[in-house]
Each structure stands twice: as C-alpha cells, then as structure tokens.
A and B are shown apart, each in its own frame.
Chain A
Amino acid sequence: MSHDHDHPHDNELDPMAARVRALETILTEKGLVDPKAIDAIVETYETKIGPRNGAKVVAKAWVDPEFNAWLRRDATAAIASLSYTGRQGEHMQAVFNTPETHNLVVCTLCSCYPWSVLGLPPVWYKSPPYRSRAVIDPRGVLAEFDLILPDTMNIRVWDSTAELRYLIIPLRPEGTEGWSEEQLAELVTRDSMIGTGLARVPEAA
C-alpha cells in the first residue's frame, strides 16, 4: 500500500516512508537537522529551481550573440549573470548542437545533472536503463523519446564523470525569426537541454 502524503498513523506507512520518518525523527531529536530547513530545501526545488531556468539561458543564447559567445567561453559566469548559481551548477559547460552533431548528456556512475538550470533530474535520468544504454546505444535510447536522428548525423555522448555539468543548447527551430526571448523560451523543453529531445517547432500559423 502506498501513500502520497504523510499520515499520523505510522503503522500504515510503507517501508520507505517509515524509514525516512524514523531517520528524520532521530536527527531532529538530536538537533542535527532542522525540519524547517528540509521544508525550505524541498520548496526551493519544487518552486524556484527548474528547467525554466535553463530555457531562459537557451533563449538568450539564441538571440544575443554576445551572451552566446560568453556562454561558450565561460558558461558558469554567463549563467550566473541570470542569477542561476549554486548546488550542482558550480562548474557549467554549455554544449551547442549543430546541424552535423547531436549531443546527449548522461552520468553513468551516478546521476550528475545541472540542478541550477534544470532542477532535480527525472527518475529515468537516474535509473539504470538510461545510464547503461546512453553510452552504447544512444540512437536506441533516443528512439524511446520518439527522437529519430538521420543516420548521417554524428552523436556525441557526454558522460559527466567529474564535477562539470553540461547544458545542451539545442538548435533554434526554423520559423522563429523575430521571436522574443520569452516566446523562444517556451519552445525549450527540459529534454532538449539533456539531448533526449529537440526544441519544439512552432505550430503552423
């Protein structure tokens, strides 16, 4: 039986809910953690830090050549200029898709992910199927995201084995000339910044 909310009647908690509650109880009683700090951490990643951050970086890179050049030169500083900094985004690299090469990011050894611009990673990114196959069968993995690349396109897979965190800059969709940054950011999906998708194509007018 699984619950998606906490109850006072502990005997009905599933094993992990009970285990985590026990741990929080012990640490709180010992004064080692502040439950309100946990609330604040959760709230930050539920409401403040997510893939909309990255989408704004991408849209700005599409419209602003100076920002684009800065992002290529020093992604950490360029992204920090938009106030996206901090945990799991301390050392950023921007990787630009080209018409010849599609880029894909994975962390085979754990689940390293650029939290500051994409938020918390989705379950599939942290799970063995993606982590094991992205490096050996990227085309097969991409097909599971309904992304079929031409046979002639090169694929570059980035295994985040160190502390550099990679943000893919997808190609700007055609038919978006003159669009504002805000409009463009709406086309930038989370998956397009991991490499398991492309930026959305604007709907035909």
Chain B
Amino acid sequence: MNGAQDIGGQMGFGPVNPEKDEPYFHASWEKRALGLTLAAGGMGHWNIDESRHARESLHPADYYSSSYYEIWTKALEVLLQRHGFITPEELKQGRSLGKGAEPKRVLKAENVAAALAKGGPCDRPVEQAPLFKAGDRVRTRNFNPETHTRLPRYARGKVGFVEAVRDGFVFPDSNAHGLGENPQYVYTVVFHGPEIWGEGADPTLTLSIDAWESYLELA
C-alpha cells in the first residue's frame, strides 16, 4: 500500500541527528513494548508480513508522530484484536474481562533463548527455475496495490539490472493477508541513481532493492 511507511525520497523530515552513545532503550516501557511484541508474535497467530502491514496501516498522521516502539505497540493492539485475543473494552479498562481466543502456544522464559536463536527463516524451496539471471536488464512493475507490498514507490517502473539471484522467499504481498506463502525467487536489482531520481541525481550513486520475481519483467 502507498502508506506512511513508504518514504524513500520523501522530503521535509529534517536532519538525521544521530545520538552519541545512544542507549538501547529511552524509557522502560520501550523494553516492555519490544518484549510484548516478540512474545505475542511467539503465539504464532500472525507472521512478520502481517505485523509490518499492521504498522504501515496506521493513519499517516499517527505513524509520523509516533516513535518506532509506539508504532509497534499500536500495531500489536490491532493484531491482538483482529485475532480475537483482546477487546477494545479491555484496552480501555486495562484489564482482562474474560477469555479470548486460545493461543497455539505461549512463549515461556526458559524457551526465549532458543526461540531468538532460531529466528524465523523465510526462505522456501521454489520448484521452477528462476526467470532471471545475473546481468539481465529488468524493469520493475508499476502498480499501486491497496494491500501489502515491498516494492517501494520510488522504484516502480524503473529499469535496472539483476546483480544477484537469491533464494526463494515467502511472498509478503500474499502472506501479509493470510493468502499463503507463495514463495518466489528474490533478486537484488541495481539502479543507477539518475534512473531513479532523474535530473540532478548524484551520478556516483547506485541503489539496490531486493525484489520478488513477480515485481520484475525483462526490459
């Protein structure tokens, strides 16, 4: 979706302002928000693509005025309600008002180390051969789905070349919506700066995205 998250090339946000010796967390609640998000995700009722889509579906005004852990927390509330674990009334009252959906599993403290060390690999075998090979000139598709996609707007309808053919990976555009993993090959596609940014672009710049096969056609 052309949501608030898709900001490559957008202007007006000001300087980066890196913080010297930045701590991992700026408030205690950020720690709990991180842990809650990972622990609730550990129930196994949604995937990373659905999580990302919940975050980018926040109203743009809300998204831009929220810190990242705020965005995570707000999206987590959406996911928990969508999957029947909590109700708006419970959020309002700050306490449980009864039983909700039954979790597939609950992440216990003693299993955290193993769960984090295992992660969530999303490479998958793909039966057919890759459509493209390194060196191919390709054009990204120009589409504007209202649903989740990982092809940024700045890189749509642009010509680049395939630098690397990666493994097959879960296709986020369908997986985010419960429509299956439908794995596809991923390609690292490189663009010359001026192809993306046009007049005045830095001629020393090249830019790459990792694109699922169905984002691409031969140019």
Chain A interface residues toward B at CB < 8 A: 2-6, 14, 16-27, 29-34, 36-42, 44-46, 49-50, 85-91, 106, 108-111, 116, 119-120, 122-124, 126-133, 135-139, 141, 144-145, 151-164, 191, 196
Contact = CB atoms under 8 A, between A and B. Distances in A.
Contacts of B207: 135, 156-157, 159
Given A39-B35, A133-B13, A162-B210, A34 B204 contact: no
B131 interface: no
- Nearest first, the 9 A-B pairs at minimum CB distance are A38-B35, A162-B210, A22-B94, A108-B8, A36-B109, A29-B96, A40-B112, A87-B119, A17-B29
14 contacts: A34-B106, A40-B112, A49-B116, A108-B152, A131-B7, A132-B11, A136-B8, A136-B154, A136-B196, A136-B197, A153-B204, A162-B166, A162-B210, A163-B170
A120 B24 contact: yes
Interface residues of B, number: 94
Contacts, number: 280
Interface in B24-58: 24-29, 31-36, 38-40, 42-43, 52, 55-56
Contacts of A159: 8, 152, 155, 207-210
B8 A34 contact: no
B106 A32 contact: yes
Nearest to A191: B18
